[in-house]
Amino acid sequence: MEEEVEKMRKEKRIVVAVDESEESMYALSWCLTNLVSDANKTKSTLILLYVKPPPPLYNSLDAAGYLFANDAVGAMEKYGWDLVNSVMARAEAVYKDFSSIMSVEKKVGTGDAKDVICGAVEKLGADILVMGSHEYGFFKRALLGSVSDHCAKHVKCPVVVVKRPRD
């Protein structure tokens, strides 16, 4: 029993929310440099979490299936998976030099990003959540909401929001 508790203390589960943006790749790089290192004696599991937007819904205006025919829906689904593969490939290029000192898991969720991220962090038993900041202005944040702000208020683990330095 004590060995199991000791093992749990030594293993850190870090969830990094990734998307198509440079900000998320910078956050991943920051995480690797600052939270995962050879000097750190704690074994780390890096969990890359990508959230796809929800699939389009049919509505009463599309009763005959004209707006979203099967091939259009299929094409959108294929595009979504192509995007997932592209983001994960970019992330792999960032973490490849660190892969010998940690294990990596890739997770994909579908839905509203803030809800999916909060749910995944709890379900995965994350010790820390790392996110990039898009640094939206007041109006854009008021219209779109801030995913990182929502997650910081609703998850039970520490949240690190990484801002990309201005060029």
Listed residue (157, 160, 83, 162) closest to 118, CA to CA: 157
- Residue listed under structure tokens 């094409």: 75
pTM: 0.81
What CATH number belongs to 9-55+88-162? 3.40.50.620
The per-residue pLDDT for 22 is: 92
Give the residue-averaged pLDDT of 91-100.
Answer: 89
Is 51 strand, coil or helix? strand
Max mean pLDDT range (4-8, 42-46, 133-137): 42-46
Query: How many CB atoms are closer than 10 A to CB 156?
Result: 10
Q: How far apart are CA 62 and CA 69, in angstroms?
A: 9
Contact in structure between 153 and 114 (CB atoms under 8 Å): no
The per-residue pLDDT for 95 is: 93
The sign of the torsion formed by the CA atoms of 69, 73, 79, 85 equals negative
156: which DSSP letter? S
Give φ, ψ of 85 to 5 degrees.
Answer: -60, -40
Domain ranges of the chain: 9-55+88-162
Q: Where are the alpha helices (DSSP H) in the chain?
A: 2-10, 22-34, 70-95, 113-124, 138-144, 147-154
pLDDT digits (tens, 9 = 90+) for 107-144: 999 999 999 999 999 999 999 999 998 766 555 554 44
The strand pairing partners of 106, in sequence order, are 48
Q: How far apart are CA 124 and CA 74, in angstroms?
A: 30
